Amino acid sequence: MKKIKYIIIPCLMVFFTSCEDEFIDLDPPASITDQVYYTEADHFLTGSNRFYTDLMTWRYDQGIYADHGSDLVGYTEDSDMQIYSRGDTRAPESDGYYSTPYSTIRDINLLLQRAETYEGEESIVPYVAASKFHRAYQYFNLVQRFGGVPLVTRPLDVGDEELNAPRSSRYQVVAQILADLDDAIAGLPTEQEIASEDKGKISKWAAMAFKADVLLHEATWMKYVGTSTDGDGTSTGAGSEGFNASNIDVYLQEVVTLTKTVMDQGGFELWDYNDELDNLSSNFLFNLEDGGSNPAGLDKATNKEFIFYNKYDFTFRQAGDLLSHVYEGRVKPSRKMMDLFLSSDGLPIDQSPLFQGYENTPDEFQNRDYRMRAYFTYHKTLGEIPQNGDVLLNGTNNFGYFNSKF
């Protein structure tokens, strides 16, 4: 028995000794707090990666950021899917479009605060830049929906007075958005510098394109809306502090500069395989996967069109929506949307001699933008223009069109 004990005990000692370096210095998960987390460059990497999941997702398809929030979709049912185009909205007591961005912004502010005191500053430049982009992105969503909102650029505690601060004007918030995007542009890599395994990360070109989007939105807002919706900042609205009409032309000129830079240097190009796909490129790009997803055998490697996108994966991050097929005409286009498709000469239909009118069902599809046929023909017979009698105004297709794209 003594020999047996002698054999067992040393074996156990050898086992524990050999594993000691692998686990003895690990921090207990419960001890990883805000105060101790951002102490290594990898912490800033993983911290900034987490913000990608807060970008707009497929689950926003019924919200104001999709066509359900416009007058381009013809739903007339008593449904929450079309409350915006019906003008049937009320200010709710709580709104996820408001609270969710602020939750993300707090996490971003925490990372940025820790970055200010991190000793290895150079090693975390792209992670800080990406975080600046994400903060700008969240605030722009807030501005589009609410106008002026409270502007918070540091992580708050429960007693901080900013928690009860009045809203900043939209112009003050936009100034912060533009400053964050300038920092992002300066610190982000170009698309060409992003490794293949990291594709989907925000590039310098994406930040430039997004800044152009912000500038165009705000310049045209100031030009055509002005300060009429701002209120006085006390009894109503968020006020007009920071409004400067001279910014309109400055913003628009920078849009030209930024977009030209992206076009010239970004390496992007339209996914134009219309010759191979019977002028249905825009539909197949929407569903592009491997070579079996389209008649031309094209895969995702052929797509150099997307500048800024949200990345999904069948194993690690599924979209959670039925994307590749739709029920017959689930989303009905309004007459306004159908008439927005240009004629093939590039002119609006009310100015083009090529427009055939509406007398027969197939007439309006003739000599039009390819996307009209790619999107609004029956997905089971994709691209086949409906003939007289094919589509009827009835209980299942009240608007006379089918939809082949989610």
Q: Do residues 208 and 261 lie in contact, with contact meaning Cβ atoms separated by under 8 Å?
A: yes
Give residue 384's identity as a one-letter amino acid code.
Answer: E
Q: pLDDT tens digit string along 277-288?
A: 999 999 999 888
Q: Which of 144, 198, 202 is nearest to 173 (CA)?
A: 144
Q: pLDDT tens digit string along 230-264?
A: 999 999 999 999 999 999 999 999 999 999 999 99
Q: How far apart are CA 372 and CA 135, in angstroms?
A: 36
Q: At what angle do helices 204-224 and 247-265 cross, to 10 degrees?
A: 150
Q: pLDDT tens digit string along 333-381?
A: 888 889 999 999 999 999 999 999 999 999 999 999 999 999 888 888 8
Average pLDDT over residues 102-106: 95
Length of the chain: 406
Domain coordinates in residue numbering, the chain = 44-87+98-265
**From the CA atom positions of the chain, what is the Rg in Å?**
27
Average pLDDT over residues 137-152: 95
Q: Do residues 183 and 202 lie in contact, with contact meaning Cβ atoms separated by under 8 Å?
A: no
Give CA separation, 291 vs 96, 268, 299, in Å. Answer: 39, 21, 5
Instruction: Please list, in sequence order, all residues whose beta carbon lies within 8 angstroms of the beta carbon of residue 297, skipping any fewer than 6 positions away.
Output: 291
Give CA separation, 27 vs 16, 33, 35, 126, 257, in Å. Answer: 18, 11, 14, 27, 49
The pLDDT value recorded for residue 16 is: 43
pLDDT surpasses 90 at 108: yes
More confident residue, 157 or 130: 130
Residue range 44-87+98-265 in CATH 1.25.40.390 = yes
Average pLDDT over residues 196-222: 97
Q: pLDDT tens digit string along 146-173?
A: 999 999 999 998 889 888 889 999 999 9
pLDDT surpasses 90 at 268: yes
Question: 15 falls in which pLDDT band (50, 70, 90)?
Answer: very low
Question: 79 falls in which pLDDT band (50, 70, 90)?
Answer: low
As a whole number, the mean pLDDT across the chain is 86
What are the phi and psi torsion angles at 71 (to 5°)?
Answer: -100, 25
| CA end-to-end distance (rounded Å), the chain | 74
Q: Which of 244, 262, 139 is nearest to 208 (CA)?
A: 262
Q: Do residues 349 and 375 lie in contact, with contact meaning Cβ atoms separated by under 8 Å?
A: no
The pLDDT value recorded for residue 257 is: 98
